[in-house]
Structure 1
Amino acid sequence: MPSSDHTDDATGPAAVFDVEQALALLSLEEKASLTSGRDFWTTTPIERAGVPSIMVTDGPHGLRKPVASADNPGIGDSVPATCFPTAVALASTWDTGLLHRVGEALGKETRANDVSVLLGPGINIKRSPLCGRNFEYFSEDPVVSGDLAAALVQGIQSQGVGTSLKHFAVNNQETDRMRVSADVDERTLREIYLAGFERVVTQAAPWTVMCSYNKINGTYASENRRLLTDVLRDEWGFDGVVVSDWGAVSNRATALAAGLDLEMPSSGDVTDAAVVAAVRAGDLDEAVLDAAVRRLLTLVQRAQPAAQSTSTYDAAAHHALAREAAADAAVLLKNDAVPSLVADQPDAPILPLRADDASGIAVLGEFARTPRYQGAGSSQVHPTRLDAPLDAVRAIAGADIPFAPAFVTDADPDEARDRALLEEAVEIARTAQTVLLFLGLPASYESEGFDRQHLDLPAEQLAVLRAVAAVNPRIVVVVANGAAVTVAGWEQDAPAILEAWLGGQAGGSAVADLLFGARTPSGRLTETIPLRLEDTPAFGSFPGELGHVRYGEGTLVGYRYYDTKDVAVSYPFGHGLSYTTFDYSTPTATVSGTGTDATVHVTVTVTNTGPVAGAEVVQVYVGDPRSQVQRPVRELKAFTKTTLQPGEPQELQLELGARDLSYWHTTLDRWVLEGGEFVVSVGSSSRDLRGAVSIDVVGESLAGTLTHSSTFAEWIDHPVGGPLMRAELARPETSGADADGALTLDDASMQMIDDMPARVIAGFDGMLFDREALDRLVAAAAAHA
């Protein structure tokens, strides 16, 4: 295992070939071959043109380079690498600086192993907590996903290796993932499912973007020109390589025309020949193929420093960073007061524990001895080492703390065995002062390739909790899982709950640090914990049927749904406790500029009012109470994490741009800022808002093009069409209008008229205007546009 922290300069040696010169040397057949992999993990070389091959491997929370040849998946057989916390955990840190440092470490290990592109991060939105791959994704919110992933990408690529932002796009389930059509409206697509990708592309410029398996509104992502070219390249300015997910290409020639550059893995000579045939038949423009090859050659040229690297890395330092990240990722959900163990002392929260109380501690649960620290599937990392929570607790306590496995994981039911394990655990708990109970989801519950069937912990684990609580009320539950689990049925039995997620190879030591107060919890939820599955926004439309999944909840995803609909939850988005407390001043907000140039400056002072140093995540939400479209009651638009000493105040300033106040207008087909009142709220969760301020923003004109099908209200409210329509109605022969062109109808009739398309009104003889008059109005409105 490399031990030096030396790394080559990220710029590396000079490029070994000229892209345009190499492209000019290639035959049509060679160009076609370059747009498919050579094998499972490497690109195709063209030796006579001086084009080398480069290697890509799985991530995203650690390098997974196969030990054997590059022509096999390598799952379970990869080189040792630091297994950092999974994305669900890294996101819960809300710390862009930390993610940048983790990215740097990942980049060093990638480069030290002669790998050019690390396949990650994955940032798909957690539409449903049932998605089996949620442990690989960041959040139910695109701002958190986008900003944290951008920091990770920047850190990785700072080391001269690339990333592959995935899975683009609307890949929110594992069920039927290779062919299901995600049917989603344009506004929801833009505001929720593309927004995070846009933030990463525009902020961090990943070297590659990986398209997903699924269809979007009936078209495969790999063949979706609007997605891969119109949006990704033309709107967002992406200039890197679009690579397919492994096996995601249905028709390679069609995919190339849509904007795909590289099919992975190798599909053999058959699809190469199909591309050549398509070019010769005129079905695929050779200039399109050339553009894809040029982008691929640019990637290969850019990656040569990593491919020729002699870099090493410090495995011990990376393990320490993984420990820091896992500690910052854990979320203290609950920490109730319990009777003190010291006579004449008041009740106090059960955590943190004191090392001198070690003689009274018992550890229960197989996950304490055999930790679950990462998810299943293509992201599995072979860790350089692995810290078990039981060992770490014993090391801090300096004592041989009693332990019982209490249950088995991923095993067939055995009533006699399970009863014996439970009874052993109860007997140990009966004589303990404090019980540390490690629960979690077995690996078989969540993985790439299938979705979860429910949100519950295994029944045998909850049986242990109930039995232990009956003999000892001082219980700390530590949960290991890759996505939200319900707690509503059992949290009353546990005074403290620490959500540890899948914390990577150092997660066991990180948990011990938190339990004994060596570190103060600072993780915050990036996904809501619902009371029950039936309360979730996508319930009833997940995972779809007959090849389609309908995104009927629209923009009301995650906390946007729960908060807007006022649905009770166990723990809200952004929630997380600490061993200290924080006080917020009343926030202020000032507006400068108008329309697309508008900027909002938010200021708030946060003070650590507790006994120990700690970090607070300050969250800024925006609501538009009078929008002409349905908008969530509040949406996260900015956040920052700050560490404060006891008694220390800090003034924080966060900036919002016009985009943070805008929505996607489906008629105008662009982002629009509708002027008027906005409410800016600042708090420590979506439901723990410490202050709010109303601001007035001057927006932009939202007047669209008037047509024969525009409603009467749209005509009257239009800055051009309104005067034209009133002038038409003011003509003496018009019935129902006065001399100023205002209708003289009762309220009920006006409501009906307002909602009528103009062409319908014109079709009624003698109503307000005829077809000829409407033709004139439409022409006049167009002339003034």
Structure 2
Amino acid sequence: MKSSGSAGRGALVRSLSLPEKVALLTGASAFTLGSRESIGLGEVRVSDGPAGVRGATFSGGPTAVLLPNPTLLAAFWDEDAAAEAGRILAEEALARGVHVVLGPTVNLPRSPLGGRLFEAYSEDPLLTGKLAAAAVRAMQDLGVGAALKHLVANDSETARNTMSSELDEATLREVALLPFEIVVADADPWAIVAAYNRVNGTPATEHRELITGIVKGEWGYRGLVMSDWFAARSAGPAANAGLDLVMPGPRGPWGEALVGAVESGEVSEAVIDDHLGRLLLLAARVGALKDDTGADHLARADHLAGAPGSAARHTRSAVAPDSAARRAQLTRLAAQGMTVLVNENGTLPLDRARTVALIGRHAVETIGMGGGSAHVTPPYQVSVADGLRGALGDLVTVVDGVEVRSRPVPARGGFLTDGETGTSGVRVKLLSESGTELERRHAADATTTAGLDERYAEPVATVVLSAVITRSGTAELGVLGSGDWTVRIGDSESSFSLSTTGRNFGEELVVPPLSTGVHTVTAGTTFEASVRLGSGTDAFSAAGLFGLIGRPARRETVDVIDDAVRAAAGADVAVVVVGLTEEQETEGVDKSTLHLPGAQDALVEAVAGAARRTIVVVNAASPVIMPWRTRVDAVLWAGLPGQEAGHAIAAALLGNIEPAGRLVTTFPAEDGGSPAWSVTPVDGVLAYAEGRFAGYRGHDAGLAPAPAFWFGHGLGYTTWDYSDISYSSGSVAVTVTNTGPRAGREVVQIYFRPQDNAHPVRLMGWSAVSLPAGGSARVTVPTDPRMWRAWAGTWVPLGPGELIAARGLGDVRAALGRI
């Protein structure tokens, strides 16, 4: 059936009965939207992001590129780099038959305790909005939709599906909504995801003022607003508020209830028609609606994926995730955003002739991504040990570090192998209630999900995981997941039940319960566990993440530190890699402290006392407390660098790629040292008491102590001088000179500090320049007009103030007063 633009889509809508319309407004499965052959509507497939495109499943699936996390990408302060990452996501989506990627995330981490900070770009709304807009444009230029998330004030994870974010209108407009406004205006994202939380008491999915009043009304947004997974709570109120699509499906709060709401007069059928029209526009844009004028958007993707709207669009392969071209690209994207926080006496870059003691659990098990829905299965992950040994060979001695997790992870490093393939991992079997085998496969990461989709003829009732233990000795063995377990280790058998705490939504997937014990085992012993899934009716009670845990028993901390000290004393330089894990940086759980887990601080202190020179690499997206920062010679913040982590960190340490990053999040000096700190609701309410003064804005206003490292800080590998600042027609110009011994890249940051103390300092714009040693250039930085305004019931101009050129507000280089 042919259609012609919006009029044609309107005709398609009118051709359907009310129940048929409503049926399309709830997803068909966990990651698909419904199809309707009679109107030429094909299936639309969505996938989680933003660090990779897993495909239309929560776990498993084909291997996929694992990008550096958005916070690390953002640290390069470059729209072209954000767009490059967006193109990679689009290419991956095209290769996997995915039409819409759930991302980017433009929520602002008001507190550094936010567990999902690693998915966000920055604490600053302008930087976030401009980078996200670049990524969205790049994705959609290739015919893949972006779903901007999460609308709005979903800046922490604790009780996220019940809590209310309470913020005044000025804070909502100037801070929380601003990145969404920028992306809608500059990139027109094809979808927006409404959040779990309430906003000033009203569920985000039912917030008419936000969705219909501001987003669709004031901003003129014509795309689709969809619920986050299981976030929709009602039929009539959500539909009338402007929510267009409920996810996932096929069950949900709409269906017959929404049909009844229309028939009773609570919801106008015109509202339903508008929702469906927006869904059909999305389908047209991604090529799932036949012969619609949305095909012109897809013509730009032809060179990648065949004719617009055709099946060929979703079958042609992108660049292979493990190809040489992709490896080099991912290494560069990660390394260039890494940030030199401390560099005394030119310790970095590393001298290639020096011997190196490489120390730390994160050196041998480098973390490339955060936890939760951002998880993908990459073709490989390069550790720092592999990367640095590959570059320096026998000059590097590697020493494992102290324990960094309170919860053991599923089996790694070949301790458990699949008895059928002999490869590292486990064998997974999914069984129905009748005992029918629904699926049998290998799981390299020793985990699987079950009960989340409808792809089997019968529901999954039992998961069986089995492996062969490869090493004799004392081992920690256990299981992960909620349900009734039977565990067999050799000839011994035990049965028990595990259940979640019920404190956080989706625990079964994000932080499932576990049980472990210490066993003496012999190589070749069979380890098998089966679990019967729950039978409840809520979203996850009959589903979850399941796995086997297997590793050698833990060593005493004092012994580990003694080994590290001996290695450090015997080398020219010690490189200690510390950081966080998916326990702290994950969807579903917030942090309780910024201190490094385990005895990592003690490890750094001990090594610094023994080594000639000590370099610390921080493998984390979030700020961490560094009590040792004045007693080490260099600190490199490496973020979560993706699948090429080790190669990227080695390239940055050696200076093959300058780590030219500038911080996108303020690093407080101690716990509690931020303008906004607590992420724990009180009586269901999380009050944004800091108002517009979150992050660097509040530090500058004196609402919190001076941070350890300011937003925008970053040393790179050279030094810079600023002179001759001027302002004209909305742009600031300044002469920048590279005064150091190496070529480098500088990011000129322009801030405005209003004279009126009621309004915070704010980033107005930035420009980057690359210069050789001794080089000089006149750099012009346009300021964004949206930053010259304040909300007072309507947008009004800011009063006079001071323009600042800075390398972060801790290093102001030039200023112009009374602008």
Query: Does TM, normalized by the shorter one, top 0.5?
Result: yes
Number of the residue aligned with 2:159: 176
Number of the residue aligned with 2:739: 609
The residue matched to 2:222 in structure 1 has which SS? coil
User: Deviations along 1:94-119, whole A, 9 cap, x unmatched?
Assistant: 11111111111111111121110000
Paired residue for 2:775, among 621, 630, 648? 648
Number of the residue aligned with 2:697: 560
Whole-angstrom CA distance in 2 between matches of 1:456 and 1:213: 28
Number of the residue aligned with 1:48: 38
Q: 1:463 to 1:110 in 2, by over 3 A?
A: same
8 Å Cα contact 2:157-2:587 kept in structure 1: yes
Q: 1:172 to 1:306 in 2, by over 3 A?
A: farther
Paired residue for 2:405, among 410, 424, 434? 410
Tell which deviates more after alignment, 581-590 or 297-306.
297-306
Tell which deviates more after alignment, 436-445 or 240-249.
436-445
Mapping for residues 114-133 of structure 1, pairs under 5 Å = 114-133=97-116
User: Is it true that 1:188 corresponds to 2:196 in the alignment?
Assistant: no
Number of the residue aligned with 1:449: 588
Number of the residue aligned with 1:483: 622
| 1:418 positional shift | 2.1
The residue matched to 1:493 in structure 2 has which SS? coil
| 1:526 positional shift | 0.8
Paired residue for 2:797, among 673, 676, 681? 673
| 1:543 positional shift | 2.1
Q: 1:175 to 1:472 in 2, by over 3 A?
A: same
Give the AA of the match of 1:652: V
Whole-angstrom CA distance in 1 between matches of 2:554 and 2:28: 52
Whole-angstrom CA distance in 2 between matches of 1:520 and 1:582: 15
Paired residue for 2:348, among 340, 347, 351? 351
Mapping for residues 566-605 of structure 1, pairs under 5 Å = 567-591=705-729, 600-605=730-735
How many residue pairs get aligned? The number is: 647
| 1:412 positional shift | 6.4
Paired residue for 1:526, among 659, 664, 668? 664
The residue matched to 2:248 in structure 1 has which SS? coil
Number of the residue aligned with 1:501: 639
8 Å Cα contact 1:586-1:692 kept in structure 2: no
Mapping for residues 54-69 of structure 1, pairs under 5 Å = 54-66=44-56
Give the AA of the match of 1:284: V
Whole-angstrom CA distance in 2 between matches of 1:200 and 1:256: 24
| 1:691 positional shift | 0.5
Number of the residue aligned with 2:535: none
Whole-angstrom CA distance in 1 between matches of 2:9 and 2:244: 15
Number of the residue aligned with 1:34: 24
Q: 1:384 to 1:88 in 2, by over 3 A?
A: same
Q: Percent identity?
A: 36
Tell which deviates more after alignment, 551-560 or 393-402.
393-402
Number of the residue aligned with 1:549: 686
User: Deviations along 1:724-765, whole A, 9 cap, x unmatched?
Assistant: xxxxxxxxxxxxxxxxxxxxxxxxxxxxxxxxxxxxxxxxxx
The residue matched to 1:403 in structure 2 has which SS? strand
Whole-angstrom CA distance in 1 between matches of 2:788 and 2:199: 27
Number of the residue aligned with 2:630: 492
Whole-angstrom CA distance in 2 between matches of 1:145 and 1:289: 33
Mapping for residues 74-113 of structure 1, pairs under 5 Å = 74-75=58-59, 77-113=60-96
Number of the residue aligned with 2:520: none
Whole-angstrom CA distance in 1 between matches of 2:225 and 2:407: 43
| 1:45 positional shift | 1.1
The residue matched to 1:641 in structure 2 has which SS? strand
Tell which deviates more after alignment, 206-215 or 636-645.
636-645
| 1:661 positional shift | 1.8
The residue matched to 1:393 in structure 2 has which SS? helix
8 Å Cα contact 1:181-1:218 kept in structure 2: yes
The residue matched to 2:44 in structure 1 has which SS? coil
8 Å Cα contact 1:252-1:263 kept in structure 2: no
| 1:615 positional shift | 0.8
Mapping for residues 675-754 of structure 1, pairs under 5 Å = 675=799, 677-696=800-819
8 Å Cα contact 2:104-2:146 kept in structure 1: yes
User: Is it true that 1:165 corresponds to 2:293 in the alignment?
Assistant: no
User: Is it true that 1:363 corresponds to 2:500 in the alignment?
Assistant: no
Q: 1:615 to 1:14 in 2, by over 3 A?
A: farther
Number of the residue aligned with 1:335: 343
8 Å Cα contact 2:126-2:179 kept in structure 1: yes
The residue matched to 1:584 in structure 2 has which SS? strand
Q: 1:269 to 1:533 in 2, by over 3 A?
A: closer
Whole-angstrom CA distance in 2 between matches of 1:457 and 1:609: 36
TM-score, scaled to structure 1: 0.80
| 1:155 positional shift | 1.3
Whole-angstrom CA distance in 2 between matches of 1:107 and 1:374: 19
Whole-angstrom CA distance in 1 between matches of 2:700 and 2:624: 19
User: Deviations along 1:533-570, whole A, 9 cap, x unmatched?
Assistant: 2221123x532211111111111110000011172211
User: Deviations along 1:670-698, whole A, 9 cap, x unmatched?
Assistant: 110145x32111111122111011244xx
Whole-angstrom CA distance in 2 between matches of 1:642 and 1:33: 53
The residue matched to 2:183 in structure 1 has which SS? helix
The residue matched to 2:162 in structure 1 has which SS? coil
8 Å Cα contact 2:578-2:619 kept in structure 1: yes
Give the AA of the match of 1:47: E
| 1:14 positional shift | 11
Number of the residue aligned with 2:549: none
Larger Rg: 1
Tell which deviates more after alignment, 84-93 or 464-473.
464-473
Number of the residue aligned with 2:199: 216
User: Deviations along 1:457-499, whole A, 9 cap, x unmatched?
Assistant: 0241112112222221411111111211111x22133211101
| 1:18 positional shift | 4.7
Give the AA of the match of 1:127: R
8 Å Cα contact 1:331-1:523 kept in structure 2: yes
| 1:411 positional shift | 5.0
Number of the residue aligned with 1:631: 759
Paired residue for 1:288, among 271, 279, 302? 271
The residue matched to 2:66 in structure 1 has which SS? coil
* Superposed CA RMSD: 2.0
8 Å Cα contact 2:721-2:737 kept in structure 1: yes
Number of the residue aligned with 2:317: 312
Give the AA of the match of 2:318: Y
Paired residue for 2:241, among 253, 258, 262? 258
Number of the residue aligned with 2:291: none
Q: 1:14 to 1:114 in 2, by over 3 A?
A: farther
Whole-angstrom CA distance in 2 between matches of 1:362 and 1:324: 25
User: Deviations along 1:605-661, whole A, 9 cap, x unmatched?
Assistant: 212222211111110001221x3x7011x2101012221122222212222354322
Give the AA of the match of 1:351: L
| 1:409 positional shift | 3.2
The residue matched to 1:507 in structure 2 has which SS? helix
User: Is it true that 1:378 corresponds to 2:373 in the alignment?
Assistant: yes
User: Deviations along 1:83-137, whole A, 9 cap, x unmatched?
Assistant: 1111111111111111111111111111121110000000111100001100011
Whole-angstrom CA distance in 2 between matches of 1:476 and 1:16: 59
User: Deviations along 1:751-782, whole A, 9 cap, x unmatched?
Assistant: xxxxxxxxxxxxxxxxxxxxxxxxxxxxxxxx
8 Å Cα contact 1:105-1:318 kept in structure 2: no
Paired residue for 1:436, among 575, 584, 591? 575
Give the AA of the match of 2:787: D
Runs of 4+ aligned structure 1 residues displaced above 4 Å come to: 13-18, 411-416
Whole-angstrom CA distance in 1 between matches of 2:310 and 2:190: 15
Whole-angstrom CA distance in 2 between matches of 1:312 and 1:370: 30
8 Å Cα contact 1:116-1:306 kept in structure 2: no
| 1:17 positional shift | 12
Paired residue for 2:560, among 403, 421, 424? 421
Structure 1: 5+ residue stretches without partners: 1-12, 67-72, 338-348, 592-599, 697-785
Give the AA of the match of 1:563: D
TM-score, scaled to structure 2: 0.77
Give the AA of the match of 1:479: V
| 1:15 positional shift | 9.9
Q: 1:577 to 1:306 in 2, by over 3 A?
A: farther
